[in-house]
Amino acid sequence: MVDTKRKEEVSKSYLNAICAVKGISMSVQQHDDDGVDVLLQKTVRRTDNKKYGARIGVQLKSTASNYTESAGEFSYPLKKKNYDDLRIPATVKSYLFLLILPKIEDEWVTHSIDKLVIKKCMYWLDLKGLPDNANSTSVTVKIPKTNIVSSEFLVETLNNIAEEELL
């Protein structure tokens, strides 16, 4: 399996584990022509006590070296097509999720009889509404280090999507 495919599979496993602890369903999309690799969904109860099926589309990326880091953010070169797909309005809210992995491949995943560890962290970025970019191959996006993909973030986002339907 090539390096990029292994990184992709590790990112799916990372996200699936975070989803599983909160009962969020993760469906891998067979074709991601519209920039969505996985669809996350959960039925949530809104403040009006009605159930709502909330969904999030995710473009998954992972890297061990193709980024730069500063004090408060990561800079990542995103393919122009992915940038354009994620910034347009859609019926399902979509995000970029970027898994930062260690540079040494043997450190990506470690396990023992007591634990399974996927090293480093996954971050999110909402590109909706960002302007067009004249670059033809890639657009460097800035992801704040505070934008950590956690099970709490996912539940909060799904709840917010359900509540927006009340407005």
Output 35 or 1, whichever has higher pLDDT.
35
What would the pLDDT profile of 105-139 be if each residue is shown by its tens digit?
899 999 999 999 989 999 999 999 898 888 889 99
What would the pLDDT profile of 35-64 be if each residue is shown by its tens digit?
799 999 999 988 899 999 999 999 999 999
Q: How far apart are CA 140 and CA 143, in angstroms?
A: 10
Which of 66, 21, 62, 16 minimizes the C-alpha distance to 39? Answer: 16
Which of 102, 15, 29 minimizes the C-alpha distance to 61? Answer: 15
Task: Provide the token pair at 7.
Answer: 């990184």
pLDDT of residue 135: 87
What would the pLDDT profile of 64-105 be if each residue is shown by its tens digit?
999 999 989 999 999 999 999 999 888 899 999 999 999 988
pLDDT of residue 89: 85
Domains of the chain by residue range? 3-164
- How does residue 9 score in pLDDT terms, banded at 50, 70 and 90? very high
3-state secondary structure the chain: CCHHHHHHHHHHHHHHHHHHCCCCEEEECCCCCCCCCEEEEEEEECCCCCEEEEEEEEEEEEECCCCEECCCEEEEEEEHHHHHHHHCCCCCEEEEEEEECCCCHHHCEEECCCCEEECCEEEEECCCCCCCCCCCCEEEEEEECCCECCHHHHHHHHHHHHHHCCC
Whole-model pTM: value is: 0.93
- How does residue 1 score in pLDDT terms, banded at 50, 70 and 90? low
Query: Per-residue pLDDT for 141 more than 90?
Result: yes
CATH code for the structural domain at 3-164? 3.40.1350.10
